Amino acid sequence: SYVLTQPPSVSVAPGRTARITCGGNNIGSKNVHWYQQKPGRAPVLVVCYDSDRPSGIPERFSGSNSGNTATLTINRVEAEDEADYYCQVWDSSSHHWVFGGGTKLTVL
Amino acid sequence: EVQLLESGGGLVQPGGSLRLSCAASGFAFGTYAMTWVRQAPGKGLEWVSSISGSGGTTYYADSVKGRFTISRDNSKNTLYLQMKSLRAEDTAVYYCAKARDIAVTGYCFDYWGQGTLVTVSS
């Protein structure tokens, strides 16, 4: 089955740029979606189809996808961005949705 | 305003059954695929099952296939998850989520419910 690999944690100072990676075999050929989840809350979609940002999501959030790595980039990080972030793809071979293990973003 | 409201969670003994519901409003329910995603305590997100807008196509995670059944009643704008032969490892918060577009697969989930807790324990 298809596997998505995320770093367990990423730390960044306020105002700096955070990059959260999502690794998978030839992930560049798939559509990658990203979700933000704060403690005790439901996930929120922050990037759809690699780089499409839903309405209401700050422009600071962006996504890219190429080769074996997809990346969620958060510019000018704010304290409110501290959360868990999950990547997701559809594996057409198995007809399964796959989530990455999640990355905890800590704002120092 | 799109709203998804899960219900039906609770405490159940191993081997027992439970049916979750997700009441939807604020969008053309029958047009969009729907999905169940769960999250065990302190763990990450795990996809459980998805169903097309018509209900004619369903997908299941290997961990629940043969034990869980996803269905929908478009006349009632409600999504269901029938769970049987429950195990301790099924303990989780179960979320329902809506597909953002009318694609059959590959879509993202643009709205999520608040979740309902299922605890499997004796």
Name the band, by pLDDT with cuts 50, 70 and 90, for residue B102: confident
For β-strands B10-12 and B116-120, DSSP reports them as: parallel
| A contacts of B108 (beta carbons < 8 Å) | 31, 33, 45, 48-49, 88
Residue B62 has pLDDT above 80, yes or no: yes
Cβ contact A42–B114 (<8 Å): yes
Cβ contact A45–B109 (<8 Å): yes
Residue type for B99, please? A
pLDDT at residue A85, as a whole number: 98
Residue type for B53, please? G
**Best to test chain B binding among A51, A57, A90 (most B CBs inside 10 Å):** A90
3-state secondary structure of B8: coil
Average pLDDT over residues B53-82: 97
Average pLDDT, chain B: 96
Alpha-carbon span A88 to B57, nearest angstrom? 20
Find the CB nearest B47 among A99, A101, A102: A99
Q: What pLDDT digit, counting tens, does each position of A64-101 carry?
A: 999 999 999 999 999 999 999 999 999 999 999 999 99
Percent of chain B with pLDDT over 70: 100
Name the band, by pLDDT with cuts 50, 70 and 90, for residue B66: very high
Q: Alpha-carbon dihedral of residues B60, B74, A49, B93, nearest 10 degrees?
A: -50
Residue B104 has pLDDT above 80, yes or no: no
Residue A6 has pLDDT above 80, yes or no: yes
Name the band, by pLDDT with cuts 50, 70 and 90, for residue B101: confident
Helix H or strand E segment including B80: strand B78-83
Average pLDDT over residues A42-49: 98
